Every structure is written in C-alpha cells, then in structure tokens.
Structure 1
C-alpha cells in the first residue's frame, strides 16, 4: 500500500492572505507634449502618471488629483478627463475646491453613471 504525503498548503496561504496590500509606485507615462497626465483606479489609486504627485477618492465618484512636482498653472491650462462607465460622464474642475483642500495644484474629478448618480470608476486626466 502506498501513501501519498501532501504538503499543507493552506497553512502557508493564511499569513499571505492577511498581509496588507502593498501600494506600487505608479508607472510613468511618456507624453512629451503634456504638462501632466494620470490614470486613476476606481478606488483612487494612482496607476500611471506624469507630473502627478497623488490621487485620492474622497467620496463615491469624487476624486482629487494633485499635479507636481513641476509647476503647472491649472488656471491657464486645458484639463481633459475621460473614462468612466459606459454612457456616464466624467467632469474635471481645475479651480480650487473645498473638497480638494482649496489648493491651486489639485484637480477635482467627478464620475457619474448614465442616470447622473455618483459612481466609482477608472478615469484618465491630462493637462495641456
């Protein structure tokens, strides 16, 4: 009679599953004619960036994207956003807002679904 000895894989997997997720450094973006650009995940995580220091989600469908370290005059720039859910909309505001700390270097982004309700969704933002 043969006996097979199987390793106990489950005991090793538990500590790995309980470990806090590491935040990866966002990938750089090659965009030579763009002042700043970012790809932001639905949870507010900065996925890709060029001249963007941080992104965060402050409420469902509401995000702040902080440009820098190079100076960008958002008031004299064209800010474009895209992405969001199919049939929905994404809006950017480059003027200082209370939601993003009233700073001149932060873009407020709102994402809405087809019915106009706030929704978390991936989006991209570029500053020209």
Structure 2
C-alpha cells in the first residue's frame, strides 16, 4: 500500500511540476508578446528621426545630406530643413548647396520634400534669420 501512495504522490508531484512549467512558459510568452508590442508602438527618438530623414533624402535625391538646420515635431509628424551638397566644386567654398524642406510621418517615414533655396557654400545668406 505504501508503494501505491508513493506512486500516486509522485504522479501528483509530476503533474504539479508540469502545470507549473506550463504556467511559467505561458507567462514568458505573454511578457515576450507585450515587449514586442511595446517595441512596435515605441515612438522613434529625435536622433533616429534625424538620421533616417537624412538617409531617406540622400537615397531619393542621390545627393549628400550634410546637416539638419531645423527640426520640429508637427501635428502630422516631423518637419526638417536639410542642407544638401548639390554640386561639388573646387574650391569647396564655390560648391552649390541647397536647403530642402522634408516632411515625415510620426514614425519617421519621409512623406515629401522640396528644395526651398540654393546657394554657394562660401556665401553668406542675405535672407533675414536664415
């Protein structure tokens, strides 16, 4: 009779251990899923937006995005002004530069761009404030 009790207790212990493992696995799965959802819904950081905007503009235009001269969050996403090297000349101060207004959605994907001005690198801007 003692063997029967031990066997029954052993089976109960194994079932309890298996149920505990299933519960832990289920909890890990839920935590992993929540973590993935959090990562998917995480808003990009400003530096990520800047890097991505420069890369996307360079890929679309084939020109080197040198710097970002303005950056702001808007109701539609993000707005940037990016300085681009349009035509490289020697000496470098004679190279043609351009400012592009770049619009991005809230996730940082480029939705539009346009050139707003063109100038020589070494020439001071005559427009006020820019």
User: How high is the TM-score relative to the length of structure 1?
Assistant: 0.30
- Which has the larger helix fraction? 2
User: How high is the TM-score relative to the length of structure 2?
Assistant: 0.30
- Of the two structures, which has the highest relative contact order with CA contacts closer than 8 Å and spacing of 6 or more? 1
Rg larger for? 2
